[in-house]
Amino acid sequence: MPNTTTTKQALIAAEIALQDAIKRETLMESQHYQSIGEIVHDIKNPLSAMMGYLSLVRNEVAGPMGNDKYAEYFKIIDRSADRLLAICNSLLGEYAGADNSAVDKTPKIVNVSELVDEIRDLFVAKAKERGIKLTAKVENDFPNLDGDPQEMYRALMNLVSNAIKFTPSGGHVEIQSEVDPKDNTFIMVVRDSGIGMTQAQIEQVTHSNLTTVSPHGDIGTGLGLSIVNNIVAGLGGKLNIISTENGGTKIKMHFPKSMSLANFR
């Protein structure tokens, strides 16, 4: 005669195992869609900027414009295309199961001044189109950093893109890089005079997909600041958001002094 207690225990164990399997499957699916969403988001930003420059070329091609100006536009487009290719190559490497066991310890040099100039050039057309003043400044003593150039680009690109999206016409977006003398950390700042966020929104944006619509009609995916938060944390840094509703936003990426490559300059 079957043991009723043993049968019940087996059924309970099987049910628990099934629930655990469903949870794992759901988590894997969620992570997959999160990864795809981040990639689409990162491709969308530079592509939008490239389209802005193409629009300028199309509108001005019949006007009195010298070849030097065309050359600058196409330089920005080429550079953005290279960034897209790097992101795609990274994705292909991940899906191909590339072996990352042998980690390259050679310092990866991030020239912050060049990076800031590149991001400013990328978005200046979009800012101008929307009536927004975009400026950038890097302190002279800001060193090159030991970090992943592609990840640093993604982080800064997302911050500036968000700032332009949520700053109304007539506003100002500023990129700064400075050394904090108090704890000798390196800070990259994106400041805007946009619509700002409530404290509740600040607590949400770095961890969840808070979809929003900008004053210009942009429909956000809600991934931008979450991506930046993950990148900065992965580089050993810290993200600090200061914002008030209708009072603008200031976002700081703090990086430790151990990332300085001053001796390699």
Instruction: Identify which of 145, 150, 143 has the alpha carbon closest to the alpha carbon of residue 107.
Output: 145
Residues 59 and 135 occupy one common structural domain: no
Return d(Cα 160, Cα 172) in angstroms, integer.
11
120 in a structural domain = yes
**211-215 long-range contacts, Cβ below 8 Å, gap at least 24?**
212/166, 214/165, 214/166, 215/166, 215/167, 215/168
CA distance 262 to 35: 34
* Domain count within the chain: 2
Same domain, 89 and 121: no
Same domain, 232 and 131: yes
> Of 37-46, 57-66, 85-94, 97-106, which has the strongest mean pLDDT?
37-46
Range of the domain at 124: 110-264
CATH of the domain at 15: 1.10.287.130
Q: Does residue 230 come out as left (phi exceeding 0), alpha (psi in the -120 to 50 range) or beta?
A: alpha
What confidence score (pLDDT) does residue 217 get?
Answer: 61
Over residues 53-77, mean pLDDT: 68
Q: Regarding predicted confidence, which is higher, 95 or 186?
A: 186
Cα–Cα distance list, 55 to 6, 64, 105, 144, 187 (Å) = 73, 16, 43, 34, 34
Residue with tokens 């990352």: 100
Judge whether 158 lies within some domain: yes
Q: What is the pLDDT of residue 249?
A: 94
pTM: 0.71
Tell me the pLDDT tens digit for each residue of 4-46. 667 666 666 666 766 766 666 666 666 666 676 677 667 777 7
Say which residues have a Cβ less than 8 Å from residue 113's Cβ, sequence separation at least 6.
138, 142, 177
Same domain, residue pair 114 and 90? no
> Pairing relation of β-strands 145-146 and 185-192?
unpaired
| Residue 44: strand, helix, or coil | helix
If asked whether residues 80 and 19 sit together in one domain, one would say: yes
Instruction: State the chain's mean pLDDT as an integer.
Output: 78
Highest mean pLDDT of the ranges 14-28, 45-59, 86-100, 148-162: 148-162
Highest mean pLDDT among 30-44, 48-62, 94-108, 232-246: 232-246
Maximum C-alpha span of the chain: 97
Same domain, 217 and 151: yes
pLDDT digits (tens, 9 = 90+) for 95-120: 545 454 444 555 588 999 999 999 99
CATH at 142? 3.30.565.10
Single residue among 95, 124, 147 that ends a domain in this structure: 95
Identify whether residues 132 and 258 lie together within a single domain. yes
DSSP category for residue 260 = B
Claim to verify: residue 58 and residue 153 sit in the same structural domain: no
Picking from 67, 73, 69, the residue whose alpha carbon sits closest to that of residue 54 is 73
Q: What is the pLDDT of residues 250-259, one digit of tens each?
A: 999 999 988 8
- Last residue of one domain, picked from the residues 95, 125, 159: 95
> Is the predicted pLDDT of residue 136 greater than 90, yes or no?
yes
